Structure 1
Amino acid sequence: MATTRTFEDLVAEAEAASVDGWDFSWFEGRATEERPSWGYARAMGERLARVSAALDIQTGGGEVLGSAPRLPPLTVATEGWPPNVAKATALLHPRGAVVVASPEDAPLPFADEAFDLVTSRHPVHTYWQEVARVLRPGGRYFSQQVGPASVFELVEYFLGPQPEEARNGRHPDRARAAAEAAGLDVVDLRSERLRIEFHDIGAVVHFLRKVIWMVPGFTVDEYRPQLRALHERIEEKGPFVAHSTRFLIEASKPRND
């Protein structure tokens, strides 16, 4: 459905909006995305309720971890981006969770076999050897991850056709192989392709500012001609449709017996 707002107005609003944390409420009424059938937040909450020590890696602003009805007595979250560290701390400290500022590409700053459960929603990269190291025997890693060629209709609109390695770099089969190479047993692996609709150009701009790895170095100034053309396309033909891919992986560390 066409908007009555100008391209400049929509873009300016999206540029001014905060992109801290993983709160996507700004998109309400402007973009939609199907959700995976497995219900990651609910399933994570069920697992958190059954353990005594848990680690959430790359927690963002702590929104998903904070949605759990019950947190274990020892709950730790890591995050590498300073604005998100502050946001996660404000959200999770009142629940008794500790937030540790830790770069995404550094070893986890915890002792061996420290946790019964390690979780992560949409990690930039999974360091499987580190996950295996900090899990106790019998412990589990539970994660929802971005799959191959996710939202590539939008990526390729701006960047052009992508090489096969970029399209399949996040394939769930690779995650299985990496988990098994680290000594973990994969007990569940599921994937789904999900429809996304962007209803105005502001939603596109906000998405690319928030999910920064989609179009690396994205700025409105650099891509203004493409953004304006996409705005006109949405106004004329309706929402821009893309598809995200998600996979759920659960892996167990073998017991010592």
Structure 2
Amino acid sequence: MSPAPPEPRTFESLVAEAEAAPTEGWDFSWFEGRATEQRPSWGYQRLMGERMAGARAALDIQTGGGEVLAGVPGRPPLCVATEAWPPNVAKATALLHPLGTVVVADPEEPPLPFADGAFDLVVSRHPVKAYFTEIARVLAPGGTYFAQHVGPASCFELVEYFLGRQPDDVRGARHPDLERAEAEAAGLEIVDLRLERLRMDFYDIGAVVHFLRKVIWMVPGFTVDAYRPQLRALHDRIEHDGHFRAHSTRFLIEARKRK
């Protein structure tokens, strides 16, 4: 006799599991089998590793838990990472120090705690904001900024489910054309700029809760108690449709400081 199929998970059990899950770092393995996100075609970590291999001094801004930087094959003789959130600082330190990378606890706002022209390579994956004037200041002449940024209206199907339709200026923020203009005004020359819209699927309400607890700027101040009716309705929708679909936007930017 075949075993009985497992009982479906309840709303309360899925939410309780997601609320108990740790949120530090940028390890998204918790979502395996529960949510998927299409990856950009360019392969940021691989390309970053290629640039790291040719650098003498590199800075990774807003490194999170250090997972992306730790995943490249090698780092230059001088490699530094910054991070603002204390749990991530601790996680990045434990991960990156054995690899010869110094982790500096630093607010996300300027100034960066480094001298002018200290690095020939600055990288960042999904910075909250790129302060191009500071990036240009710490880059040596001819140095490169190489990053993957979150683009406009990313995952806004989910954001607007909870917060309602957002103003056009909010939806248009983070557009690559705006960041191109900021970079060029800071004295950087754009070498490459590519934007892609990517599919995201959430397969249970626990994945939604964990995502909003982890990526805290999506729905500021999110708690389960504050949004319980909306979460329960979304749970029912996912149970009926099999998933909740949203779309992320990402853009690759490579810029060079003029000599």
Quote how far apart the aligned CAs of 1:238 are. 1.3
Q: Which runs of 4+ in 1 moved over 4 A?
A: none
Aligned position for 2:62: 58
| 2:203 aligns with one of 199, 204, 211 | 199
Aligned position for 2:233: 229
List per-residue Cα deviations over 1:144-165 (Å, max 9, x = no partner): 0000000000000000000011
Distance 2:84 2:45 in 1: 21
Q: Return 5+ residue gaps in structure 1 as ranges.
A: none
Asked whether the equivalents of residues 3 and 200 of structure 1 are also in contact (C-alpha less than 8 Å), the reply is no
Distance 1:25 1:216 in 2: 23
Aligned position for 1:85: 89
Q: What is the one-letter code of the residue matched to 1:89?
A: T
Q: Return 5+ residue gaps in structure 2 as ranges.
A: 1-5
Q: What is the one-letter code of the residue matched to 1:215?
A: V
Quote how far apart the aligned CAs of 1:25 are. 0.2
Quote how far apart the aligned CAs of 1:106 are. 3.0
RMSD between aligned alpha carbons? 0.9
| 2:184 aligns with one of 169, 180, 184 | 180
Distance 1:51 1:214 in 2: 34
SS in 2 for 1:234: helix
Cα distance change of structure 1 residues 159 and 3 upon mapping to structure 2, 3 Å threshold:
farther
Quote how far apart the aligned CAs of 1:59 are. 0.2
List per-residue Cα deviations over 1:228-248 (Å, max 9, x = no partner): 000001101110000000000
Q: Identical aligned pairs, as a percentage? A: 76
Distance 1:3 1:22 in 2: 31
Q: What is the one-letter code of the residue matched to 2:172?
A: N
Quote how far apart the aligned CAs of 1:3 are. 7.4
With the length of structure 2 as denominator, give the TM-score of the two structures: 0.97
1:123 aligns with 2:127: yes
Aligned position for 2:103: 99
Distance 1:54 1:62 in 2: 14
List per-residue Cα deviations over 1:159-180 (Å, max 9, x = no partner): 0000011101110000100000
Aligned position for 1:245: 249
Aligned position for 1:215: 219
| 2:140 aligns with one of 129, 136, 155 | 136
List per-residue Cα deviations over 1:127-159 (Å, max 9, x = no partner): 100000000011000010000000000000000
Q: What is the one-letter code of the residue matched to 1:82?
A: P
Q: What is the one-letter code of the residue matched to 1:114?
A: A
